[in-house]
Amino acid sequence: MTTSSSSPTVDHAPRDPADGRWTPRLVLILIALAWPTQLLAAGGILGANAIAGVAQAFHTTQVVWFGLTLTLVSTLLTPFVIKLGDLYGKRRVMLAMTALGALGELLAALAGSFWLVLAGRAIAGFYGPFGALSFAAVRDVFPARLVKQASGVMGSSVGLVAIVSPFLAGWLIDTWGYRGVLWFLAAATAVAFALIALLVPETPRHAFGSRLDWPGGLVLGGGLTAVVYALGQGQS
């Protein structure tokens, strides 16, 4: 008689044979996860600097929605993204997120009306919860001894991104206007997609066989979204 494992995990990510030591493969995986994670911080700073250009280009007083739309979509989707990563593997979900993120920023960069810009930003919001998966993926992919180090590198590099991003935003806006920011975000997100596709292995499916709790996700994500919306409309 054969017995099956009590763990529901399948599709295990291959561990590096040099368990506990940094290898070129692990360094590349860390870069592939860190790039799109830090792009979230850079995108927030770049987007904030582009708001004035968007308002001037479309002569709108509703420019607050340029950033708020992306934030609301990201907040609403976060519970679903985390669960989908457990159901189908984090790599698959991250690829879908980065593809939609690049598509959304591209649409916003090409848009000829403010409402199309907002539609593009809403689609780009699917990329927003990426950080919720990337740090979890580190625990699945890296040897146990390196998880804290890898997570620390990803977290501490936010400071460097915060220093560089305002200068990058100024150069992009001065040279190409707000569209330069959106084109850069679209290209950078496309690079993130390529890095994940080429370097990141699939992670275990921890919730294999379970179902997505749509009501629970809507209650949690919707509640958080309502709070974010209230904060975004704080002045009124």
- Whether the per-residue pLDDT at 7 is higher than 80: the answer is no
Q: Report residue 106's pLDDT band, with 50, 70 and 90 as the boundaries.
A: very high
Domain boundaries, the chain: 24-232
Confidence label for 11 from pLDDT (cuts 50, 70 and 90): very low
* Residues of the chain above pLDDT 90, percent: 56
- Whether 216 shows a pLDDT value over 80: the answer reads no
Question: In this predicted model, which residue has the larger pLDDT, 160 or 196?
Answer: 196
* CA atoms within a 13 Å half-sphere pointing along the CA-CB vector of 65: 13
How many residues make up the chain in this entry? 236
- pLDDT > 70? residue 6: no
Give the residue ranges of DSSP H helices in the chain: 24-58, 65-88, 90-110, 114-124, 130-141, 147-176, 178-199, 214-232
Residue 236: both structure tokens together: 């009124």
Q: Specify the DSSP element, H or E, that contains 144.
A: none
Contacting residues for 97 by C-beta, under 8 A, at least 6 apart? 81, 126, 127, 129, 130, 133
| pLDDT tops 70 at residue 19 | no
Buried/exposed 27-57: b ≥16 CB within 10 Å, e otherwise: eebbebbbbbbbbbbbbbbbbebbeebbbee
In the chain, the amino acid numbered 105 is: E
Q: For the chain, give the mean pLDDT.
A: 85
CB-based contact 40:130 (threshold 8 Å): yes
pLDDT of the residue at 212: 66
Q: What is the mean pLDDT of residues 206-228?
A: 67
Distance CA 223, CA 229 (A): 10
Mean pLDDT throughout 198-214?
75
pLDDT class for 98, splitting at 50, 70, 90?
very high
74-86 pLDDT tens trace: 888 888 898 888 8
pLDDT tens sequence across 113-142 = 999 999 999 999 999 899 889 998 999 999
Residue type, 86: D
Whether the CB-CB separation of 11 and 202 falls below 8 Å is answered with yes
pLDDT of amino acid 5: 41
CATH 3.40.640.10 fits 24-232, yes or no: no
